[in-house]
Amino acid sequence: MRILKPPIITLNFKCFLEATGDGAIRLSKIAEKVSSETGVSIVVCPQYTDIYRVSSLVDIPVFSQHVDPITPGSWTGHVLPEAVKAAGASGTLLNHSEFRLKLSDIEFALSRVNEVGLIALVCANNVKVASSLAYLKPWGVAVEPPELIGTGMAVSKVKPEVVSNAVSEVKKVSRDVLVFCGAGISTAEDAYIAFKLGVEGILLASAYVKAKDPELFLKSLCEASLKGL
Amino acid sequence: MRILKPPIITLNFKCFLEATGDGAIRLSKIAEKVSSETGVSIVVCPQYTDIYRVSSLVDIPVFSQHVDPITPGSWTGHVLPEAVKAAGASGTLLNHSEFRLKLSDIEFALSRVNEVGLIALVCANNVKVASSLAYLKPWGVAVEPPELIGTGMAVSKVKPEVVSNAVSEVKKVSRDVLVFCGAGISTAEDAYIAFKLGVEGILLASAYVKAKDPELFLKSLCEASLKGL
Amino acid sequence: MRILKPPIITLNFKCFLEATGDGAIRLSKIAEKVSSETGVSIVVCPQYTDIYRVSSLVDIPVFSQHVDPITPGSWTGHVLPEAVKAAGASGTLLNHSEFRLKLSDIEFALSRVNEVGLIALVCANNVKVASSLAYLKPWGVAVEPPELIGTGMAVSKVKPEVVSNAVSEVKKVSRDVLVFCGAGISTAEDAYIAFKLGVEGILLASAYVKAKDPELFLKSLCEASLKGL
Amino acid sequence: MRILKPPIITLNFKCFLEATGDGAIRLSKIAEKVSSETGVSIVVCPQYTDIYRVSSLVDIPVFSQHVDPITPGSWTGHVLPEAVKAAGASGTLLNHSEFRLKLSDIEFALSRVNEVGLIALVCANNVKVASSLAYLKPWGVAVEPPELIGTGMAVSKVKPEVVSNAVSEVKKVSRDVLVFCGAGISTAEDAYIAFKLGVEGILLASAYVKAKDPELFLKSLCEASLKGL
């Protein structure tokens, strides 16, 4: 895995059909190409079933979309951190607005993530929750007002104070925790503003997966991110 | 995929470390060998992250341990039926005692499973629930008293009436639904009795995954199953 | 408790502020009055915290909105069937679309409900689920397409086939299970059609709680129900 | 409501049959008597269905065992903060080990609790989680290692460092947040040690509810708490 350094662009493939199976490979290869051309750190988050194929075929960091707060054993249908790691992932999203977790489970999942050598980007719905999470010292915290996710109205444009407050509050708790923002980011300008506001990474999904020309879109995003940083 | 015909042996790999990553491959190859030697239908249920590798490398049916009741779209960390299918699975477990579902979700998951061309083995904790599930016409229903799972005390030996009642009640609702039993099955004799009691398949996990000699164990299970049928 | 006989009108108070605390008393007293004047069986379903007051003050059946599938013991924040009974309820809703349950939990909750001497009206999102539930022999099954709940578009008008199929399918499984319908019922005509389609009861919430004149509305509903039966 | 000042003894009635209905009244009256005799602040946490009766009959603070993170509206079977307040509660437990919540739900429930004029005692399974919760500024945080709950092995005796660390870490985040401990507290000595370690309150359940002589037990607890403070 390449070293991840800001600006970091995290691409969540969700359960979009365009990003399932062969689609996940295609979108990951484009991300690899753009990352290599622009020097920007890009992370892809395919579905569990695609982690192995993607991480075998591309040389950029692959994150799982979630891991369960469990140790190996009698768990049917669960997502074991060791399994995600064995499949080639180097990290995971956690507590995404589409998969919120109990606080005690976030804390235990983070301890498991550390134990098996993964890193975690934990999502928060607002600044208070982001600060509270920072206390658990994950690799990164992503603030994403859920009401903006998938709308195309970028948090960085519509609620810039959420982004800048998240940066200042999280850093107050711990300087080591990276701050991301997400929700609605869909243009190069949205990314530029986000990095201007102080984030170290952004998190997006449909804007990339559903882009007419994902390569062109991602390249413009990378350039804007570098400028905004 | 080979055609599945009774006796059917379903091996749930759960989140056991011995059955994760390379371990899943190893245990699946043994299952393939024993199935080919004995003619018994054997299904393996690896973790999501291992479905692609296993189904690429072995020629026996691979089931997912669960699928979510969703259509493609904005779901982070979920298990899309289409993704499981694309990874090479031909079916899935559903509603395992370690992953119980809401009734409305079982019904919708079953409609999705049909739609994408998978089959489902739905678990039930008792005869009443098994009959109620039969009404939804899944491929199979597995009755597994949760208090016996993982104990080594086989449902077929300790509670034979649960098994025979499950067979008669489920068949009353629909002759097409296959009846499985599970929980505690850990010897060839347990399997023999189960098939004698009328089931068409059995479901086991730790007894295979943790066997000292999985090949020897599975072979004896197959032979007993054929005799019991 | 008066004996409940069709037509049965079930009024779910949900967590509406108008139906909380003193509001629950007021709306229950109106229901009692209308029931006594029209002879129609009316059931009120206040919040847990209001069950005791309502059942102490009015002489119509009071249902809980839910009970948990538990026996007495170490459960914090749960809803013990015994507690609901002790507070004066004679029955409960179960598996409402706003509180869906796991199938195994519905089955166990129903056994507990019987054990403590309550009756249960179990909700279903479609005809298949209703039939599957009928197998568990609850007192009644209410079919409520969730997409119509709270819309004012009555299931009996918009999807009459759902109602008539629910009646015929549930009765095929068991003649003893009462069939209710709900979702969008908001006029006397909606109720009339529902009973014409064969249901024995209806389930409504906002149309009563938010009615300008709840007494007038409920009276018209009762008269239409008697005609439709 | 009397003013709550340390030492505070919180009695969780859970779903124990001895503490349901009339039992809740009896145990609350004893608590009221002991509180009045010793001057120690005692809080009782009956089931939802008993809040109204208890708070009408006794003059000590009554807490709910949980409230849902909701505003008034279409929620069936949920626990509306306004309803709990209207029934006479002055506060609530939140996130008990038997009712863990998602972090985003804790945050929203706390905002609702403030809004309706309740106070919240939020439970945490370890020191890290306690500190993270302190960031959300609840009235109090109770650290309770779940493996000790109901065992009779008191956290204050078996894991004193958990208690003293919880005190120091929570106070680092906010001096205003009260620190409680719970799990296994079953003798006067356990309570004495807990207060010696710096807590401002304790949380217990079965030791009181199942005591042979609850009045005698509670009195001894109060005296030890006063000495330990």
Length of chain A measured in residues: 229
CB distance A155 to A193 below 8 Å = no
Q: Searching chain D, which residue's CA lies closest to the CA of residue C76?
A: D14
Strand D8-12 and strand D41-45: the pairing is parallel
pLDDT of residue D14: 98
Q: What's this model's pTM, rounded to 2 decimal places?
A: 0.93
* Model confidence at C2: pLDDT above 60: no
* Model confidence at B116: pLDDT above 50: yes
Instruction: State mean pLDDT over D166-179.
Output: 95
User: How many of the other CB atoms lie within 10 Å of CB of A152?
Assistant: 12
| Count of CB pairs separated by less than 8 Å, A with D | 61
Instruction: State mean pLDDT over B80-106.
Output: 97
* Model confidence at D88: pLDDT above 50: yes
Q: Is A55 exposed, middle or buried (0-12, 13-18, 19+ CB in 10 A)?
A: buried
Q: B131 at the C interface (CB within 8 A)?
A: yes
Q: Is D172 exposed, middle or buried (0-12, 13-18, 19+ CB in 10 A)?
A: exposed
Q: D174 at the A interface (CB within 8 A)?
A: no
Q: B52 at the A interface (CB within 8 A)?
A: yes
Chain A residues within 8 A of D66 when measuring between CB atoms: none
Q: D173 at the A interface (CB within 8 A)?
A: yes
| CATH classification code of C8-228 | 3.20.20.70
Per-residue pLDDT of chain A (229 residues; tens, 9 = 90+): 457 999 999 999 999 999 999 999 999 999 999 999 999 999 999 999 999 999 999 999 999 999 999 999 999 999 999 999 999 999 999 999 999 999 999 999 999 999 999 999 999 999 999 999 999 999 999 998 888 777 878 888 888 898 999 999 999 999 999 999 988 899 999 999 999 999 999 999 999 999 999 999 999 999 999 999 8
In order, the DSSP letters of C93-151 are EES-TTS--BHHHHHHHHHHHHHHT-EEEEEESSHHHHHHHHTT--SEEEE--GGGTTT
Q: φ and ψ at C64, to 5 degrees? A: -75, 160
Which of D74, D112, D186 is most worth mutating to test chain C (most C CB atoms within 10 A of its CB)? D74
CB distance D64 to D45 below 8 Å = yes
The least confident of B15-19, B146-150, C10-14, D181-185 is B146-150
Q: Searching chain C, which residue's CA lies closest to the CA of residue D67?
A: C77
SS3 label, residue C63: strand
pLDDT of residue B173: 92
Instruction: State mean pLDDT over C90-118.
Output: 96
Spatial distance between the Cα atoms of A48 and A66, rounded to a whole number of angstroms: 9
* Model confidence at D1: pLDDT above 60: no
Q: Give helix A48-57 / helix B48-57 axis angle, nearest 10°.
A: 60
Kindly state the greatest CA–CA separation across chain D.
49
Cis amide linkage into residue B6, ω under 30° from 0: no
Instruction: Report chain C's mean pLDDT, rounded to a whole number.
Output: 94
**Sign of the alpha-carbon dihedral angle for C120, C121, C123, C129:** positive
pLDDT band at B229 (very low <50, low <70, confident <90, very high): confident
Interface confidence (ipTM) of the complex: 0.95
B122 closest CA partner among B173, B52, B187, B67:
B67
pLDDT band at C1 (very low <50, low <70, confident <90, very high): very low
**Sign of the alpha-carbon dihedral angle for B71, B72, B77, B82:** positive
Instruction: Report chain D's mean pLDDT, rounded to a whole number.
Output: 94
- By Cβ distance, the residue of C70, C82, C206 closest to D20 is C82
C78 closest CA partner among A102, D45, D53, A100:
D45
Instruction: State mean pLDDT over D94-110.
Output: 96
Instruction: State mean pLDDT over B188-195.
Output: 94
Which of D11, D12, D15, D147 is most worth mutating to test chain C (most C CB atoms within 10 A of its CB)? D15
Q: Does B touch D (3+ CB pairs < 8 Å)?
A: no
pLDDT of residue B1: 46
Q: B5 at the C interface (CB within 8 A)?
A: no
CA-to-CA separations, C127 to B148, C12, C82, C145, in angstroms, rounded: 34, 21, 31, 9
Q: D126 at the A interface (CB within 8 A)?
A: yes
- By Cβ distance, the residue of D51, D75, D98 closest to C76 is D98
C182: enclosing H helix or E strand: strand C178-182
* Tens-place pLDDT, residues C29-84: 999 999 999 999 999 999 999 999 999 999 999 999 999 999 999 999 999 999 99
Q: What 8-state DSSP symbol labels residue C198?
A: T
* Tens-place pLDDT, residues D113-171: 999 999 999 999 999 999 999 999 999 999 988 887 778 788 888 888 989 999 999 99
pLDDT band at C150 (very low <50, low <70, confident <90, very high): confident
Tell me the CB-side half-sphere exposure of residue C141, using CA atoms within 13 A.
31
pLDDT of residue A1: 46
pLDDT of residue D113: 98
Angle at D206 between CA D38 and CA C46, to 5 degrees: 95
C191 closest CA partner among C150, C215, C151, C219:
C219
Q: Give helix C214-228 / helix C188-196 axis angle, nearest 10°.
A: 20
Instruction: State mean pLDDT over B49-57.
Output: 98
HEC letters along D156-196:
HHHCHHHHHHHHHHHHHHCCCCEEEEECCCCCHHHHHHHHH
**Sign of the alpha-carbon dihedral angle for C113, C114, C116, C121:** positive
- Identify residue D48 by its one-letter amino acid code: Y
Which of D103, D107, D123 is most worth mutating to test chain A (most A CB atoms within 10 A of its CB)? D103
Contact across the interface for A79 and B50, Cβ inside 8 Å = no
Q: D106 at the A interface (CB within 8 A)?
A: yes
Q: Does C touch B (3+ CB pairs < 8 Å)?
A: yes
